Structure 1
Amino acid sequence: MASLRRSAFRPCIDLHNGQVKQIVGGTLSDNKPDTLQTNFVAKQSAGEFAEIYKEKNLTGAHVIKLGPGNDAAAKEALAAWPGGLQIGGGINEENAKEWLDAGASKVIVTSYLFPKGVFSLERLRSLSTAIGKENLVVDVR
């Protein structure tokens, strides 16, 4: 019997400079901020998007902070749907609990686990111990 494939919609709130944006992949760079290209910049706030996702029960949603200047917008989204959104972007052992306390269902960690481009099992274990593995999503692509 052939297995059936199905797609799942995972809503995302990408934040850049405090705004919800859809950024063209590969154009976000700390070294060349003027190369950023967007497909879409929303007029609605991160909190408004979170409220829509909550109303429609779009589970598996996440907020991604793309660079600095996004904490207030991220916290607005988490407050609009406590326990309904995961959060990523700049998450590390020092701030992970703060984001869970702010309402994130889980924290998403990627670059923190790769200091100098090398995977650190020690960092993963330490973070997992600090917040609990049930609160942690490791995003490796």
Structure 2
Amino acid sequence: MTSEADFLAAIAGRPDDELLLQVFADWLEENGEDQRASWVRSPVIRRWMGEQFESPIPAIIRVLKSRKGAVGVRRAVSLIGVAIVPELLPLLKDEDAYVRLQAVWCVRKVGKAAAGTSAVAVLLE
């Protein structure tokens, strides 16, 4: 396979084929998409990526805002790491206390790496 479209079509036909998914991740890496490749390799993150294997971050943020299944995103957040922190920052000031709490838990799941971002400053405001 030589294009992303070829891979996506093959994966659509065999969505449970882990080997195919890993080969796709290797292809992404070879084509300079290291972060996306690492997400495709992780079944925990992959479930948030959709059929086109796009960034899982928008789907995770939607769940956090919806207040349904927010606890279920924490594992994915810890695996995504610091890349999700900029999207979590607005949630730290959300008018809904539950959404704010979930955002704090997610920043905590990212761990010490989040300290190097502006998340700490937002928490202190």
- Structure number having the greater strand percentage: 1
Q: TM-score, normalised by structure 2?
A: 0.34
State the TM-score, normalizing by the size of structure 1: 0.31
The structure showing larger relative contact order (alpha-carbon pairs under 8 Å, at least 6 residues apart) is 1
Kindly indicate which of the two structures has a greater share of residues assigned to helix.
Answer: 2
